[in-house]
Amino acid sequence: MTDYFNEMYQGGKVREPYARLQGWMQSMPAELRHMKQAEAEALFRRIGITFAVYGEGGDPDRLIPFDMFPRVFSGAEWARLERGIKQRARALNAFLVDVYGRGEIVRAGRIPARLVYLNDAYEKAVVGFVPSKGVYSHIVGIDLVRTGPEDFFVLEDNCRTPSGVSYMLENREIMMRMFPDLFRENRIEPVDSYPEILRRTLASVAPQKCDREPTVVILTPGHYNSAYYEHSFLADMMGVELVEGQDLFVEGEFVFMRTTEGPRRVDVIYRRIDDDFIDPLCFRPDSMLGVPGLMDVYRSGGVSICSAPGAGVADDKAVYTYVPEMIRFYLGEEPILKNVPTWQCGKADDLKYVLAHLADLVVKEVHGSGGYGMLVGPKATAEQVEAFRARIIADPDNYIAQPTLALSTTPTFVEEGVAPRHVDLRPYCLVGERVELVPGGLTRVALTEGSLVVNSSQGGGVKDTWVLAE
């Protein structure tokens, strides 16, 4: 039986950040709780936030369960997390500028050339181009798990267009409406400045040729996209236009948007469309979602695109292993947040270790996703382990292995009352002229007892995430 870190209780005592929640929890009999839960659900339905997080697919009209029990960090805990997250966001951006420039980290032999230059997400078309302010990834979503009071691990980085921030904002909004007293009793750092900081961040990377107050837009693939709600929500909150590819066109050196008052020049595009689809003249010629000629305008300094095309090479599963190395190489600092130790089966020593400890490890295909081609050692039968052993031996390069992490738990409302459930965290770091982080993020919770899977497609829910003022 693994000993999981419970974020509220330690040795029978309530940890300080959760001190004021003890009484609140006890003051809610089952009846009131059910009523409140129904109220929360009605609120979510009314605002229409029903999309799947992280492009997991599934029913777009399904409501993701909201758990009212907040997840809490002390100011000191957050201060350290914040330093670690910002450090990582800076290093990832430095890496991107480097690999599309001189490639010093590759020349120095700190990361294999093949891993970078043969990566599908590496865009030859932007080599030599430096985006405004040297920023490639303007919104860095870093997925974290906790295993102890001081132990946080990064599961993955998301440098392209991480979604879910609308949940962070809506969860807070709903908690404040339902439990105003809680927000008087606790000194909780606000998160509602996120849209304004995002707008400021985007405006700060306006292109060279922009000589006035920049016009920012959000480019969405359209209402069929699972995150469309978030696109329109953010546009609304920032007070900027939400556009589709057909609303934009290139003329001469610039990009314009069609408006009822005629064409209006656009300076910064926060795109929620993948690289492949943003310009049929540069990338996939069959794409109907993008804007023909956009990449020529971009590369000649007429418009900024956020995240910058090509940013995806920094958040690849194989490149992930090298992020601590990036932090040392570019910043000359030791990583504040740890990576999950990863064994690369393509390396002889690693392979030996993995084969000897298969029953304890999680083994993944390097380019697999969505839980396919994966072995969870502790949950697998002896036959499954042996079958997987054969696959690894046949093609070791294709596999990596990681320890099964003991994800922390926080109290969660369940049918029978309150019980510990496993959680993760995705904060959203904003990078423009400055690197900024709103104190909070999206906490996902595995609602099924014992489950370590927080994905909404497999019974995961969301929580409000608090950071207490010092």
Partner 1 sequence: MLLSVDHVTRYFYDQPVRAVVQSHRLRPSQFDGQKLIRWDVTVSDGQKGGGFRDGAGDWVQGWTVQGPVAEILVQVSGQVETTDLAGVLRGHKESVPPHCYLRGTHPTTADAALAALGEGLTPDSDALATAHAISARISDAIAYRPGATEAHTTAAEALALGEGVCQDHAHALIAVARSLGLPARYVSGYLLAGDDGSPHEASHAWAEVHVRGLGWVGFDPANRCCPDERYIRIGSGLDAQNAALIRGIARGRGEESLEVSVTVQARQISSQTQQ
Sheet holding 268-271, edge to edge: 241-243, 216-219, 268-271, 304-306
Smaller CB separation from partner 1, 182 or 291: 291
Strands 268-271 and 304-306: parallel
Min. distance of Cβ 299 from partner 1 in angstroms? Answer: 5
E strand spans, 378-427: 399-403, 409-414, 417-426
Residues that bind partner 1 (CB under 8 A): 100-103, 106, 113-114, 116-118, 122, 124-129, 249-253, 280-282, 285, 292-293, 295-297, 299-302
Min. distance of Cβ 95 from partner 1 in angstroms? Answer: 15
Which residues does residue 462 pair with via DSSP β-bridges, in sequence order? 66, 444
In degrees, rounded to 5, the angle at the alpha carbon of residue 109 between the alpha carbons of residues 106 and 113 is 45
In degrees, rounded to 5, the angle at the alpha carbon of residue 144 between the alpha carbons of residues 194 and 142 is 50
Smaller CB separation from partner 1, 282 or 351: 282
| Matching residue, tokens 């405006």 | 203
Smaller CB separation from partner 1, 83 or 299: 299
List of residues 6+ apart from 452 with CB closer than 8 A: 404, 405, 407, 422, 446
By three-state DSSP, how is residue 112 classified? Answer: coil
Min. distance of Cβ 284 from partner 1 in angstroms? Answer: 11
Min. distance of Cβ 122 from partner 1 in angstroms? Answer: 7
What does the block give as tokens for 159? 């440098």
Smaller CB separation from partner 1, 100 or 330: 100
Strands 13-14 and 9-10: antiparallel
Min. distance of Cβ 253 from partner 1 in angstroms? Answer: 5
Smaller CB separation from partner 1, 262 or 332: 262
What does the block give as tokens for 101? 């420039």
DSSP 84-95: HHHHHHHHHHHH
Smaller CB separation from partner 1, 116 or 438: 116
Min. distance of Cβ 219 from partner 1 in angstroms? Answer: 17
Min. distance of Cβ 88 from partner 1 in angstroms? Answer: 25
Smaller CB separation from partner 1, 322 or 466: 322
